[in-house]
Chains A and B, each alone.
Chain A
Amino acid sequence: MSRSAFLDKGILLGFCFTVDTHHRPCLKYLTQEGIEPYITEEIDAAFERNKSRLSTRYQEHILNHVSQLTKSNFEGEVGPMELRKIRKGLLDPGNNAFHFLEYYYREIAPNVTSVYELKNQLRDLARDIEQLSLDRKEEFDELVQEWERGGEYPDVEKALSEIEGEDMWVCIDAHDLAVNKENETELATTDPKDMVDNGREDLILKNTSISKIIDLAIKPADRWT
Chain B
Amino acid sequence: MASDDEGQGDLHAPEYLAYRMLKSLNELDDSPISRSKFWKLCCLADRYVQNEFDHDIGFPRHWYKYGELGEAHSINRSILNAPSARFWQGQELYPDREIPDSDFDISSDEQMFILRAVERIVNRFGKDSVDEIKEHQYENHPPNEFIKAYSQLRAQFEVADLDRQALLPDFDRGGREQYIEDMLDEMVVSFPEEEYGEVHDLYLRWDDTMRMMLNDDADAVELKQFLDVFIERLSEITIRFRHSQHIPKSRLERWQEEKPIKKEKLETEIQQKREQYLNRREPSGVLNSVSEAFDETVVEDM
Contact = CB atoms under 8 A, between A and B. Distances in A.
B185 A70 contact: yes
Interface stretch (B12-20, B26-34, B279-287): B279-287
B112 interface: no
B298 A18 contact: yes
B79 to A, nearest CB: 46
Choose among B189, B300, B301 the residue with the greatest number of A CB atoms under 10 Å from its CB: B301
B211 interface: yes
B297 A58 contact: yes
Nearest to A57: B301
A99 B301 contact: no
B292 interface: yes
A104 B212 CA distance: 21
A144 to B, nearest CB: 19
Choose among B185, B211, B295, B298 the residue with the greatest number of A CB atoms under 10 Å from its CB: B298
Contacts of A124: 284, 286
Choose among B185, B212, B293 the residue with the greatest number of A CB atoms under 10 Å from its CB: B293
Contact of A100 (B211, B290, B302): B290
Interface in A106-147: 107-108, 121-132, 134
B278 interface: yes
Contacts of A134: 275, 278-279
B294 A19 contact: yes
* SS class, residues of chain B in contact with chain A: helix
B6 interface: no
B173 to A, nearest CB: 15
Interface string B77-90: 00000000000000
Contacts, number: 117
B268 to A, nearest CB: 12
B160 to A, nearest CB: 23
A96 B297 contact: yes
Contacts of A21: 292, 295, 299
A56 B189 CA distance: 22
Interface residues of A, number: 46
Interface in A6-53: 10, 13-14, 17-22, 53
B222 to A, nearest CB: 18
Given A18-B295, A224-B292, A128 B286 contact: yes
A86 interface: no
Given A17-B298, A127-B278, A108 B292 contact: no
Contacts of A127: 208, 212, 278, 281, 284
Contacts of A59: 205
Contact of B283 (A96, A121, A131): A131
Nearest to A124: B284
A63 interface: yes
Q: How large is the interface on B (under 10, 10 to 19, 20 to 34, 35 or more residues)?
A: 35 or more
B264 to A, nearest CB: 13
B84 to A, nearest CB: 43
B289 interface: yes
Contact of B291 (A10, A13, A19, A121): A19
A102 B296 CA distance: 13
Given A54-B302, A132-B283, A22 B295 contact: yes
A60 B295 contact: no
Contact of A107 (B200, B211, B279, B289): B289
B297 A130 contact: no
Choose among B188, B191, B286 the residue with the greatest number of A CB atoms under 10 Å from its CB: B286
Interface of B: 185, 188-189, 191, 200-201, 204-205, 207-208, 211-212, 274-275, 278-279, 281, 283-302
Given A22-B298, A67-B207, A126-B208, 17 more contacts: A18-B299, A21-B299, A63-B207, A71-B189, A96-B297, A99-B296, A99-B297, A100-B290, A100-B294, A103-B293, A104-B290, A127-B212, A128-B284, A130-B274, A134-B278, A134-B279, A224-B292
18 contacts: A17-B298, A19-B294, A59-B205, A63-B201, A64-B201, A71-B188, A99-B293, A99-B300, A100-B293, A102-B293, A103-B290, A104-B290, A108-B289, A121-B284, A128-B283, A128-B287, A130-B274, A190-B302
Interface of A: 10, 13-14, 17-22, 53-54, 58-60, 63-64, 66-67, 70-71, 96-97, 99-100, 102-104, 107-108, 121-132, 134, 190, 218, 223-224
